[in-house]
Structure 1
Amino acid sequence: MSHLSKLDGYFAENRDNHLAELNEFLRIPSISSLSEHKQDMQTAASWLAAAMKRVNLDNISIDETGGHPVVYADWLHAPGKPTILFYGHYDVQPVDPLNLWETPPFEPTVRDNKLFARGASDDKGQVFMHLKALEALFALDGTLPVNVKFIIEGEEEIGSPNLPQYVEKNKEKLAADLILISDTGLYAPGKPAVCYGLRGLTGIQIDVRGAKGDLHSGLYGGGVQNAIHALADILASFRDEHGTIQVEGFYDNVRPLSEEERQAYLDLNFDEEALKEEVGVKELFGEKGYSYLEQTWARPTLEVNGVFGGFSGEGIKTVLPAEAGAKITCRLVPDQDPDEIVALLKAHVEKHKPAGVEVTISEFDKGAPFITPFDHPVIQAAGRSYERVYEVPTAYTRGGGSIPIVAAFDQILQLPVVLMGFGLSSENFHAPNEHFHLENFDKGLRVLGDYLYEVSTLSL
């Protein structure tokens, strides 16, 4: 009997017990952003530690940080085999507005083969799956084919403020051959995906100041600079009519797509017409020479996120605004450095600043881009495990968004990162009625178990 057949039998036999155990975890209101749930965060960490003990892991600890604790565990009894570091988080988003939930957010409920509860998909359900995959291998083989380490944090939903320091301090303890994360999703229902890259993020605020106060447009109009016009000139200078960024040096370090990557994206047969209907536009927009997936996964951006200044109330007010501002963010791709990009933005603004105003630039938080090479053995092994269970080709994708802690792992530990998720974009994570399709819970358990066998055959 193949190991996948044995996994099928084990998970089918234990499904009810596993769901009952997961429901215990989901009932804990571990909302990291609300101080009244501080004790619930400790309860969730303790629950995880106890679950790890039941699985037969070693060196389990609840490590305090400057905020909510990190739960660590390992099992290192497979000499000569690779070591996988599992990462996940046990904290969840707030549940407001509560009245939009069909059933209480911390009372797990199954409807239409979907498990409804806050954290079901993001990320308690997926963290739990890793533990159950290990439990299955212990039950079937009495051992594991690889070495494992766990680092499960309680602050992902508030930006992981203390985790980089924890990782830096514990680099030796966290040493491994790869990092495995299940906090992403499938490409589409029934279509698994390995995400091998994420864009980084940086941002600035531009504040323009003209006169010492708003001026009467009849008395001063045409003779004194209007702060909004000055801001508009600066913003217009950032991009051409196709969205190509005009900041000098902005594209200098952009890593080009390989032909294999471009072909992998083409093979997904992305439906741009369906996208236009979904978002309610008649045509798409972006850099010439790149498909929509290439534009949103592998090309950098510069977007104006908000503009403010002047009079916006009902009717009209004939003034020359003295102040105006804009918030701008850039999604970055390998090998762009957030600090270098901010420096280029500042130089560009200074070069294009109109006469008659002063400009101040403030910086926002930054996150580096991340990529594990598309052809890396741990990426391709993940694709094989998905295909063995889902019985369709695996999609190899990049994420257009940013998960700063993934980039921090990449930079501090310098390990390949494998993002193997089982959620769906329709599962309302961060919103009322969050849920997890149990079809993917069932298949995901088998994928993760199979992946441990796959990794055990690699020379890393």
Structure 2
Amino acid sequence: MDQIKSFIDQHQDRFIQELIQLLKIPSISADSKFKGDVINAAEEVKLRLEEAGCTFVEICGTEGHPIVYGEKIISPDFPTVLVYGHYDVQPPDPLDLWDSPPFKPVIKKTETHPEGAIYARGACDDKGQFYMHVKAMEFMSKTDNLPCNVKFMIEGEEEVGSEHLGEFVRNNREKLQNDVILISDTGMIGKDIPSITTGLRGLSYVEVEVTGPNRDLHSGLYGGAVANPINILAKMIADLHDENNHITIPGFYDKVETLSDEERSKMAEAPFSLERYKKALDIEDVFGEKGYSTNERNSIRPTLDVNGIWGGYTGEGAKTVIPSKAFAKISMRLVPHQDWKEITKLFTKHFESLAPKGVKVKVSPHHGGQGYVTPIDTIGYQAASKAYEKSFGKTPIPYRSGGSIPIVSLFEEELHSKTILMGFGLDTDAIHSPNEHFGIHNFLKGIETIPWFYKYFTELSK
């Protein structure tokens, strides 16, 4: 294990170029036009797992996009680590806000990443992060430092709700049997402040449609006499929060866990600069639920946000119409104990009740998932903590993330395994946004840290 740094130094240029090659593939799972590219990305992942030392790799078809499975089994008597990641990416829109093309990766030096960062869609979420595990596997295999069994499950539908992953897991429980699941699809508090994500929020994602007249109408002849679906939708959305930014859906907060003052005090110890936060986002002030800090609002509290809204005429120039329909996409981030299916029903009932008689409302659920909390007294967490201490020289901070990885609760339910979330991205890496990037320092640091997890997990398992 002592040769890991020299191994990375010797091969880092190749590691970066391999990642760039993967990032060039526009594996956008949400858009059927890119189905061929998604398959190409799966084949690239298969090739890299084989090169890294997996003795068996296959592309497993699903009714949607394929899952890449690989393994190297040393002995049935040794513990097994299952690595999960995803090779699909978010759509890059809006393209005009990118400083460089999203699928033509470039390396740029920034204030946050003076050693350089790779700019491309998927750089941090999640190609760069799961590829750290592939290269860590290469190191352990080629230097005879793999202390246990390893399995990889890299899917192509995470960004569209992992619709077919549940069926795959249920049908392959024996193949996927493991002692711990390792995921890098989260982040760190700071570049030199290692942290382990111990909580994830759940998700309920819906699309709403408000219909008024049976056709678009002349706004001069009908304006003021017929309900305008866009006006109505805007008011309905506004009514989903009160003056304290508290969500107004009846029953929404019934199962929300209230953290103790002691737990909130410990959370507040994590390094955080509100001024730097506002500066990075170019905003004058933060906004959110009254009575909670910024870090609490985006981690331990549920939220409701509009992700997209459209209707009527949006082309160049003017067209004076009252539209027949208006639409919006709405996501609710949920905390542990909130059931996403129950919340979706509560939202639907309440949203329909907000509509006046002049319009019809349709709510279409898209996807969702449960929240998750990882206990810190497991050997998996202890192994991760020791691994960060070894590579960073400091003890990592446990913290709850505002993001959602719905499949984590699925894994525990179906495979009865705990998940350890070892993320190496930063909040400033612009995941899901234009100019997404991943610091080269973080990428290489991940490759350095992951093998130590294997070592310590195997030792602690004894």
The TM-score bracket by the shorter chain reads 0.7 to 0.9
Tell me which moved more, 402-411 or 361-370: 402-411
Distance 1:322 1:274, change over 3 A: same
Distance 1:8 1:281, change over 3 A: closer
Deviation at 1:420, TM superposition (A): 1.4
1:79-98 alignment, distance < 5 Å: 79-92=76-89, 97=95
* 2:370 matched residue in structure 1: 369
* 2:139 matched residue in structure 1: 136
Distance 1:234 1:383, change over 3 A: same
1:247-286 alignment, distance < 5 Å: 247-257=249-259, 261-286=263-288
**Structure 2 CA distance for aligned equivalents of residues 212 and 17 of structure 1:** 58
In structure 2, which of residues 51, 63, 79 is the aligned counterpart of residue 66 of structure 1?
63
In structure 1, which of residues 451, 456, 459 is the aligned counterpart of residue 458 of structure 2?
456
Alpha-carbon contact 1:213-1:321 (below 8 Å) kept? yes
Distance 1:388 1:357, change over 3 A: same
**Structure 2 CA distance for aligned equivalents of residues 94 and 309 of structure 1:** 21
**Structure 2 CA distance for aligned equivalents of residues 15 and 321 of structure 1:** 55
Deviation at 1:286, TM superposition (A): 3.3
Tell me the SS of whatever aligns to 1:257.
coil
Tell me the SS of whatever aligns to 1:267.
coil
**Structure 2 CA distance for aligned equivalents of residues 281 and 392 of structure 1:** 32
Tell me which moved more, 38-47 or 290-299: 38-47
Distance 1:205 1:433, change over 3 A: closer
In structure 1, which of residues 177, 189, 196 is the aligned counterpart of residue 198 of structure 2?
196
Query: What per-residue deviation string (whole Å, max 9, x for no partner) do you get for residues 49-78 of structure 1?
Result: 333333332332122223443221112324
Unmatched 5+ stretches in structure 2? none
In structure 2, which of residues 49, 52, 55 is the aligned counterpart of residue 52 of structure 1?
49
1:9-408 alignment, distance < 5 Å: 9-26=6-23, 28=25, 30-32=27-29, 38=35, 40-92=37-89, 97=95, 102=100, 105-106=103-104, 113-114=115-116, 116=118, 118=120, 119-140=122-143, 142=144, 144-202=146-204, 203=206, 205=208, 207=210, 209=212, 235=237, 237-257=239-259, 261-304=263-306, 328-349=330-351, 356-357=357-358, 359-377=360-378, 378-408=380-410
Identity of aligned residues (%): 38
Deviation at 1:266, TM superposition (A): 0.8
Backbone CA RMSD of aligned residues: 4.1
Distance 1:280 1:38, change over 3 A: closer
**Structure 2 CA distance for aligned equivalents of residues 308 and 102 of structure 1:** 27
**Structure 2 CA distance for aligned equivalents of residues 457 and 6 of structure 1:** 19
The alignment of Structure 1 onto Structure 2 pairs a total of residues equal to 453
Query: What per-residue deviation string (whole Å, max 9, x for no partner) do you get for residues 308-337 of structure 1?
Result: 7899999998x9999777654322111111
Distance 1:439 1:243, change over 3 A: same
**Structure 2 CA distance for aligned equivalents of residues 98 and 220 of structure 1:** 35
* 1:440 matched residue in structure 2: 442
Tell me which moved more, 323-332 or 357-366: 323-332
**Structure 1 CA distance for aligned equivalents of residues 215 and 254 of structure 2:** 40
Alpha-carbon contact 1:387-1:393 (below 8 Å) kept? yes
Deviation at 1:182, TM superposition (A): 1.6
**Structure 1 CA distance for aligned equivalents of residues 194 and 328 of structure 2:** 39
AA at the equivalent of 2:131: F
AA at the equivalent of 2:273: D
AA at the equivalent of 1:83: T
Tell me which moved more, 361-370 or 99-108: 99-108
**Normalization by structure 1: what TM-score?**
0.80
Alpha-carbon contact 1:85-1:148 (below 8 Å) kept? yes
Tell me which moved more, 167-176 or 443-452: 167-176
Tell me the SS of whatever aligns to 1:123.
helix
Query: What per-residue deviation string (whole Å, max 9, x for no partner) do you get for residues 341-364 of structure 1?
Result: 12223443466565x545423123
Deviation at 1:449, TM superposition (A): 0.9
Computing the radius of gyration from Cα coordinates, the structure with the larger value is 1
Distance 1:93 1:214, change over 3 A: closer
Distance 1:36 1:252, change over 3 A: closer
AA at the equivalent of 2:139: A
Alpha-carbon contact 1:78-1:144 (below 8 Å) kept? no
Distance 1:429 1:176, change over 3 A: same
Query: What per-residue deviation string (whole Å, max 9, x for no partner) do you get for residues 214-238 of structure 1?
Result: 79999997x9988788767755654
**Structure 1 CA distance for aligned equivalents of residues 247 and 23 of structure 2:** 45
Tell me the SS of whatever aligns to 2:368.
coil
**Structure 2 CA distance for aligned equivalents of residues 433 and 304 of structure 1:** 22
Distance 1:7 1:260, change over 3 A: farther
Deviation at 1:439, TM superposition (A): 1.6
Distance 1:240 1:171, change over 3 A: same
Tell me the SS of whatever aligns to 1:381.
helix
Tell me the SS of whatever aligns to 2:153.
strand
AA at the equivalent of 1:10: F
Distance 1:22 1:307, change over 3 A: closer
Unmatched 5+ stretches in structure 1? none
Alpha-carbon contact 1:193-1:397 (below 8 Å) kept? yes
Deviation at 1:242, TM superposition (A): 1.0
Alpha-carbon contact 2:118-2:440 (below 8 Å) kept? no
Tell me the SS of whatever aligns to 2:460.
coil
Deviation at 1:297, TM superposition (A): 0.7
Tell me which moved more, 47-56 or 124-133: 47-56
AA at the equivalent of 2:56: N
